[in-house]
Amino acid sequence: MGLELTGRARYLPLFMCGIVAYIGKKEAQPLLLDGLRRLEYRGYDSSGLAILNGSLHVSKKVGRISNLEECLSGAPLSGTIGISHTRWATHGEPNDTNAHPHLDNRKKLALVHNGVVENYQALKRKLVAAGHTFESETDTEILAHLVGSMYDSLPASTPHRLETALKLALKQVQGTYGVAVVHADEPDVLVGARRGSPLVLGIGQDEHFLASDVSAIVAHTQKVVYLKDFDLITLTGNSFTIKSITDKPSEFQISEVDYRTEDAELGSFPHFMLKEIFEQPTSIQNAVRGRLNAEEASAVLGGLNMSPQELREVERIVITACGTALHAGIVGEHIIESLAHIPVEIDFASEFRYRNCPMDRRTLVIVVSQSGETADTLGALREARRRGYRVLGICNNVGSTIARETDGGVYMHAGPEIGVAATKSFTSQVTIFALLGLLLGRMRFLSFTQGSEFIKGLEALPDQITKLLKQADKIRAIADKYKSVKSMLYFGRNVQYGVAMEGALKMKEISYIHAEGYPAAELKHGVIAMIDHHTPSIFIVPNDSLRNKNISTMQEVKARKGPIIAIATEGDEDVAAIADDTIFVPAAHECLLPILAVVPLQLFSYYTAVLLNRDVDKPRNLAKSVTVE
């Protein structure tokens, strides 16, 4: 176990595509549909299910789950064992035929699959040579035929025949998978397996669930097992066994989910993104709870699994992540360098494992992933471990692969984040970097007084964000003013550069307005060519050490008739006099200002998207977490 854990298991639901499977005594169809609806936030383009009742009955439709429900409304499928899926296309366009589940050559086996079969073309050639014909363009149908072929090749008397067939098939597969499989000849068995794509077992009373995340099943059970890579699971209504495809022993632990069904529901909010923006006072409070030591003016991060001496010996830190987590790392770089005077480097996780990055033995690698399952970040983690470096993780999912494979780390405890556009995970990650900077700083150059003041700043953040959120109506009015523009530019310097990047990303993700984030001083190095009266510039210019330089850059934009929206410290009339619109944030320690500055940018992007009638929680082409490379 890598990361620190206090209390019961906490879980954050995410990942592209979705699997829900059931075996028990109840009708499967309503349970499967309910589970699929709870996975809608992940992003998908089609859905389907297969119910086993004497024979296989399959229904699948392109588009929203409501299309599948409408298809089934006149002729519901009866049966107490079934599998279902929401698909995010990787191989083959979105249509009814390419939707999951897929059947084998004899139409007796049904399979749903998350992931990518990299050697599907070679497998398909072998199957075609053996007489198989295919209906879809997907790699998953090849996998279904392969498992069915293995099943048919085994004697009927083979114990655990379906389990054995899946094991034999997956040993031939290159790539990633989370799968659930049923077969008409074994009407009381459901099997599944994972490699690189999450899968969780839900344990009920005389019933079991298999799902790609726990949000799909938490309404029915609180007891779960997070499967590990190469785990192979066989379920009946009242029993389960977990083995390893590699023939090595497989150990598992039953965890209790520590969030309620309503935590992953909208409540009175129109969108999950807005709900999660407003949850940030609580999520930041959870991130610091029990981790501040006022007597030593330092932080307590026991889950790092490093002694004080080992922490003092760190001479360089490499932070690697993707997307929003990468932007949090950019902010974290400045925080750690400022507080602890340790050189920090940021690297795209997708690039880290393909670079020959020279690092000495006193380098500490930190991987950041809200889900703990991001494929590129996992690749970077494994590459760093392969080279012999100590790796710490920052994530939100106790059962995740990053939590298991890192040497230590810190859980965010942010609670469920359903919206595809990450919000509270960013501020939680930056808060954890602030805690890490405080801890390392107190071991090196930070005085007791400086540490105490920093702790007071951390403790003040929840109330300050609550105050900030009261400006929501004002921010909506600003969004209404600029909603029709084609492009936006975001500027921040030093610790605020990561916030500029994150603000631009949020605007792109959910409004589809082109937006770019830059260090403010880069304006003169090409970006200034983009300035005109149709292109607003968003400046993050709090009262910090670079305020005056930022004001000078704002003046350059103003001189070229560029509209300016400023994020400024309360009472800064100089900034307000230059900007066309100003959003004020409370005064805070320079290293904590990014946590405050990003909140108005989150609301700005949210309201812009709403005013443009975008699908805020399910933006086009995006999934909550990228679990394939």
Residues with catalytic annotation? 17, 624
Give the whole-angstrom CA distance, residue 629 versus residue 618. Answer: 21
Identify any residues that bridge with 187 across adjacent strands, giving them in sequence order.
none
DSSP H stretches of helix in 96-172: 120-129, 139-153, 161-170
Answer for the pair 194, 180: CB distance below 8 angstroms, yes or no.
no
Identify any residues that bridge with 175 across adjacent strands, giving them in sequence order.
117
Report the interhelical angle of 593-611 vs 424-442 (nearest 10°).
170
φ, ψ for residue 134 (rounded to 5)?
-120, 145
DSSP H stretches of helix in 387-515: 401-405, 424-442, 448-469, 472-482, 497-511
Q: What does the H/E/C string look like for 85-103?
A: EEECCCCCCCCCCCCCCEE
Answer for the pair 623, 43: CB distance below 8 angstroms, yes or no.
yes
Please state whether beta strands 581-585 and 537-540 pair in parallel, antiparallel, or not at all (unpaired): unpaired
Q: How distant is the alpha carbon of residue 315 from its chain centre?
A: 30
Identify any residues that bridge with 363 across adjacent strands, giving them in sequence order.
316
Give the whole-angstrom CA distance, residue 379 versus residue 352. Answer: 8
Report CA-CA distances (Å) from 614 to 474, 488, 608: 20, 17, 9
Please state whether beta strands 200-203 and 208-211 pair in parallel, antiparallel, or not at all (unpaired): antiparallel
Report the interhelical angle of 424-442 vs 448-469 (nearest 10°).
170
Pair of tokens at residue 545: 């050490």
Tell me the DSSP string of 17-41.
SEEEEEESSS-HHHHHHHHHHHTGG
φ, ψ for residue 288 (rounded to 5)?
-100, -10
φ, ψ for residue 90 (rounded to 5)?
-120, -50
φ, ψ for residue 14 (rounded to 5)?
-160, -170
Amino acid at 216: A
Give the whole-angstrom CA distance, residue 484 versus residue 486. Answer: 7
Cα 505–Cα 510–Cα 515 angle in degrees, nearest 5: 40
Tell me the DSSP string of 162-197.
HHHHHHHHHTT--B-EEEEEEETTEEEEEEEEEEBS
Give the whole-angstrom CA distance, residue 541 versus residue 593. Answer: 10
Answer for the pair 8, 258: CB distance below 8 angstroms, yes or no.
yes
Amino acid at 298: S
Give the whole-angstrom CA distance, residue 506 versus residue 619. Answer: 11
